[in-house]
């Protein structure tokens, strides 16, 4: 028997919550949240205040939470984003769960949020739990294909050790990487955010890391746009 088909990061109500009309409301709310953030208001106060006004669902609030930042942070991320053509200039350091789950969500036909920083983010919300699904192998193959196309010299995947099945995923990454013809390693660490936030040449869409790392590659968007057709992109740009 084949693997059970799993639609990562999908909710049946997404068709209503991210309809064209709903997205326009999300954009308007995003403008208001960013305006308040730019004037010193705290995110944890502003997000529920504006979301309550529009009566947004928990999923819509999560989309805003993952896509909205202040103008200062957007500008910092823009300046620290590295051109993809420089990926060949050394090893890259990959936020493993972050990249793989985003691709699994895109492959599942579930909504992917495109924020004003140009980054695509998922709404899977796994909260420390992960299991390999029928989309995992395809996601890894696309990562390898992209790394080869960019002539990356080597890659290290960082996985949060406390997350369930991190060891299994690490072994699968190594197994799949044999076809990539580049050196690949996997590091299981207590907190990948903490490690990657101090580094350069990072692959992630995690805002915490993007706001602290020296330089980053927008690889998830590159893979989605080049290799995953008909992705459901909720464009909040």
pLDDT in tens, 111-142: 999 999 999 999 998 778 999 999 999 999 99
Q: Is the pLDDT assigned to residue 10 strictly greater than 70?
A: yes
**CA dihedral (116, 58, 45, 54) positive or negative:** positive
pLDDT at residue 226 above 70? yes
Write down the H helix ranges in 5-135.
Answer: 14-17, 20-37, 43-54, 58-67, 71-80, 96-107
> Looking at residue 3, what is its pLDDT?
63
User: DSSP 3-state assignment of 3?
Assistant: coil
Q: What pairs with residue 217 in β-bridges?
A: 203
Least confidently predicted of 125-134, 146-155, 206-215: 125-134
Q: What is the per-residue pLDDT across 188-199, written as a single tens digit (0 to 9) for each?
A: 999 999 999 999
* Alpha carbon separation from 66 to 44, 60, 99, 115 (Å, rounded): 13, 10, 15, 8
Taking each helix axis as running N to C, give the angle between helix 20-37 and helix 58-67, from 0 to 180 degrees, rounded to the nearest 10: 50
What's the pLDDT at 1?
Answer: 44
- Percent of the residues in the chain that have a pLDDT greater than 70, as a whole number: 99
Question: How do the domains of the chain map onto residue ranges?
Answer: 14-68, 79-235
- Say how far apart CA 237 and CA 231 lie, in whole Å: 16
* DSSP assignments along 25-56, one per residue: HHHHHHHHHHHHHTTT--HHHHHHHHHHHHT-
pLDDT at 2 > cutoff 70: no
Position 111 scores a pLDDT of 97
Reported CATH class of domain 79-235: alpha beta
Q: Is the pLDDT of residue 209 over 50?
A: yes
pLDDT averaged over the chain? Answer: 96
pLDDT at 206 over 70: yes
């Amino acid at each position: 028997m084949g693997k059970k088909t799993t639609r990562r990061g999908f909710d049946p109500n997404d068709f209503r919550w991210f309809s064209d009309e709903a997205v326009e409301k999300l954009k308007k709310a995003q403008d208001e949240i960013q305006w308040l953030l730019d004037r010193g208001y705290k995110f944890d106060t502003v997000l529920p205040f504006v979301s309550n006004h529009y009566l947004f669902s928990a999923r819509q609030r999560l989309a805003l939470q993952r896509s909205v930042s202040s103008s200062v942070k957007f500008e910092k991320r823009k300046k620290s984003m590295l051109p993809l053509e420089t990926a060949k200039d050394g090893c890259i350091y990959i936020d493993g769960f972050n990249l793989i789950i985003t691709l699994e969500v895109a492959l599942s036909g579930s909504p992917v949020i495109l924020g004003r920083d140009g980054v695509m983010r998922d709404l899977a919300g796994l909260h420390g739990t992960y299991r390999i699904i029928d989309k995992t192998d395809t996601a890894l193959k696309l990562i390898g294909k992209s790394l080869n196309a960019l002539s990356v010299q080597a890659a290290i995947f960082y996985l949060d050790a406390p997350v369930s099945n991190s060891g299994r995923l690490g072994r699968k990454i190594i197994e799949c990487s044999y076809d990539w013809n580049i050196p690949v390693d996997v590091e299981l660490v207590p907190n990948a955010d903490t490690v990657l936030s101090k580094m350069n040449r990072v692959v992630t869409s995690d805002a915490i890391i993007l706001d602290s790392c020296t330089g980053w590659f927008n690889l998830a968007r590159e893979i989605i746009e080049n290799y995953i057709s008909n992705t459901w992109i909720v464009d909040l740009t």
